A and B are shown apart, each in its own frame.
Chain A
Amino acid sequence: MSYEIVARPHQQNFIDWAKDKPEVLVLSADLTNSCEVGKWRDTYPERFFSMGMAEQNMMGMAAGLAREGFEPWLHTFSVFLYRRPLDQLQMSIAYPALKVRLVGFLPGIMTPGGVTHQAIEDIAILRSIPNMTVLEVGDATEAQSVLDVAHAVEGPVYIRMLRGEVSRIFPADEPFVLNKARILSVGTDITLITSGMATEEALRAIPLLQERGISISHLHVSTLKPFTDPQVVAALKSAKHGVITMENHSIIGGLGSAVAEVMAENAVGVPLQRIGLNDTYAHGASQKYLMAEYEMDAATLVKRVEKAIGRQLNIDESELQEQRSVSVHSSAKVEAL
């Protein structure tokens, strides 16, 4: 399966989208071009505010602007939005439920920047914060349509964003809908729930699994909080042999945990296997390398399905759909880390 590759899906889309929304401001912390808002800054210089490498203050300034009726969209790497300035995010923004949008780039192991740059527990932390809405985009269509979704939320929103060369997996006319999973396939043996870039990875293996006669319900989840979509409950209940989650995050507190909570609350009595970082930090290396090293790739998914159904499927790794790899020096992400 090959997808249309969209270069810098956020860059021009966000400019066009913000044109008739004078209340929308951008606050940036020295990663402006790296977050595809350099052109936005040049287009709307009166609405762009450089906050420097000072995220704690950026949270407070955003809170003050939001209290005055503006809608600040903070752009930086995911990891810098919740680790250092967590108290400010909670007390200045989340407690008063202000309309601040936190757009976090390079989530999980998508950055070769190593542990300091890898947001691996952001969903866990932000999901536990009252008043927060937590979103994660899985392709170019979602990266572009998430703007309307976040804009409509009467409270703070965290977006795990994609940048650079991004596949368009979902049709451009099927936008992101809050708290509504995308049903990618329907089946009864296994229910697979994936999020973010893990969806594209899972899709490398799914046709092969289906060819081997495995009946799979595959749901792509892009709203991590709230997590009350009845389609998810229905899909979990339909799984005969087990549920598998797959995410670009720690298996603690993210999608896997959210699914476990729903399964327990709904008495879904099949085993759950969570694919993701298994309570470990990662290090600086390519996404492809890290996904294999930490067993977050399509080959891992095949093994987990085999475990769930209790038999070997004899799928050779060479049979898996070719993994799309983007050069570190791709022209679509000219900016440094």
Chain B
Amino acid sequence: MSENSTNVVKEIERVATGIRLRVLAHTLSNNGGYMSQACSSAELLASLYAGILNFSPTGQPIDPPSFLGVPSIGTDFYQTGAQFHGEKGAEYDRLISSPAHYALVIYAALIETGRLREDGLEHFNRDGSTVEMIGAEHSPGFETTTGSLAQALSQAGGIALARKIRKEKGRTWVFMSDGEFQEGQTYEALQAAAFHGLSNLRVIVDVNKAQCDGPMDSVMSIEPLSQRIEAFGWEVSVVDGHDIPALLSAASRTTSTPHMILCYTDPVRGLPILAERAPVLHYLRFTSTEEHDRYEKAYQEMVK
């Protein structure tokens, strides 16, 4: 590995650690948070924001704006969380985040990569703020409204198609969660992207095998996932979602079809104490002061 790529991996590791710490600190101070999503996707999102995506710089970290209002005809404002990804441009990449429940993790990634102000999380889930619990298109790092899951891939397909028509160089990336492969629309989107030859469309999936009701295998199995997606005409890379060089290598593949990276991940990675809550890991709310204190102790260990 070259010195440059070693430095990139080190930076991604720093960002990933920062994501887990920020989400845990927030969960401790708010007695609740989407913790397992941070544990599973930290390296994945860190690799995207600090290694894979070709974004234009934002300059200074941005202060999250107050919520101005919903989009409506005749108003002269439109708020988009895409500003945290820098200026749009033909040569730049786009990132459409599909699982809006990962918002807290995405905000942490934006802070760690200098795009969102460090105190941005103080606005999280506060009335009148854009830093919403379930991100929408006005929330930092989001440009579509996809809290009703599995709608982003189709929208990103439309964006990728538009960019293909305009012969733009930039790629359109979609971050997805594995639960979204239970929705029928996902498969409609897969077939359409392959049919229309959207090789500029790249999807990266946090396959953490966990969903709201518990382990996915107990709710609705989606395996064999890579075979399913390949059968729809996509190129698929399967990687350990905590292996940063493997993530970067898969992301650098050029394909003549749409490409998907399935990142198999561990929903308690970096915070083993979370495994006590298995099988239901979707949302962490402490049940006792004693439990809160043990997580506090785990946090102190992590920052050492």
| Neighbouring A residues of B70 by C-beta, 8 Å | 95, 130
How many angstroms between the C-alpha atoms of A66 and B157 in the bound complex? 12
How many angstroms between the C-alpha atoms of A61 and B172 in the bound complex? 13
> Is A147 close to B, CB under 8 A?
no
How many angstroms between the C-alpha atoms of A70 and B192 in the bound complex? 18
Chain B min CB distance to A67 (Å): 6
Known interface pairs A65-B161, A91-B145, A96-B144; 18 further A-B residue pairs with C-beta atoms within 8 A, sorted by A's residue number? A49-B196, A52-B191, A52-B195, A56-B154, A56-B185, A57-B154, A58-B154, A60-B157, A60-B185, A64-B158, A64-B159, A64-B160, A65-B159, A65-B162, A69-B162, A72-B158, A92-B145, A155-B73
A61 and B73 contact, CB distance less than 8 A: no
> Is A62 close to B, CB under 8 A?
yes
Contact of A70 among B157, B160, B162 (CB under 8 A): B162
| Neighbouring B residues of A150 by C-beta, 8 Å | none
Q: Which 6 A-B pairs have the closest CB atoms?
A: A64-B158, A60-B154, A68-B162, A57-B188, A54-B188, A61-B158
A52 and B192 contact, CB distance less than 8 A: yes
Interface centre among A50, A95, A96 (most CB of B within 10 A): A96
Nearest-CB residue, chain A, relative to B192? A57
> Is B163 close to A, CB under 8 A?
yes
How many angstroms between the C-alpha atoms of A130 and B162 in the bound complex? 26
Nearest-CB residue, chain A, relative to B163? A68
Chain A min CB distance to B274 (Å): 31
Question: What would 12 A/B residue contacts be, using CB atoms closer than 8 Å?
Answer: A54-B191, A60-B151, A60-B185, A65-B158, A65-B162, A66-B158, A67-B143, A67-B162, A91-B148, A96-B145, A97-B72, A154-B73
> Is A270 close to B, CB under 8 A?
no
Which residues of chain A from 46 to 90 have any CB-CB distance to chain B below 8 Å in the complex?
46, 49-52, 54, 56-70, 72, 87-88
A68 and B72 contact, CB distance less than 8 A: no
Interface residues on A, range: 20 to 34
How many angstroms between the C-alpha atoms of A54 and B188 in the bound complex? 6
Residues A91 and B161 in contact in the complex (CB < 8 Å), given A49-B196, A131-B72: no
B72 and A130 contact, CB distance less than 8 A: yes
Contact of B154 among A61, A95, A97 (CB under 8 A): A61
Contact of A59 among B72, B154, B159, B162 (CB under 8 A): B154
Contact of A61 among B71, B144, B148, B157 (CB under 8 A): B157
Binary A-proximity of B132-158 (CB < 8 A = 1, otherwise 0): 000001000001111110011111111
> Is B224 close to A, CB under 8 A?
no
Chain A min CB distance to B24 (Å): 31
| Neighbouring B residues of A69 by C-beta, 8 Å | 162
Residues A49 and B161 in contact in the complex (CB < 8 Å), given A57-B189, A61-B192, A96-B71: yes
| Neighbouring B residues of A130 by C-beta, 8 Å | 70, 72
A60 and B72 contact, CB distance less than 8 A: no
How many angstroms between the C-alpha atoms of A66 and B71 in the bound complex? 14
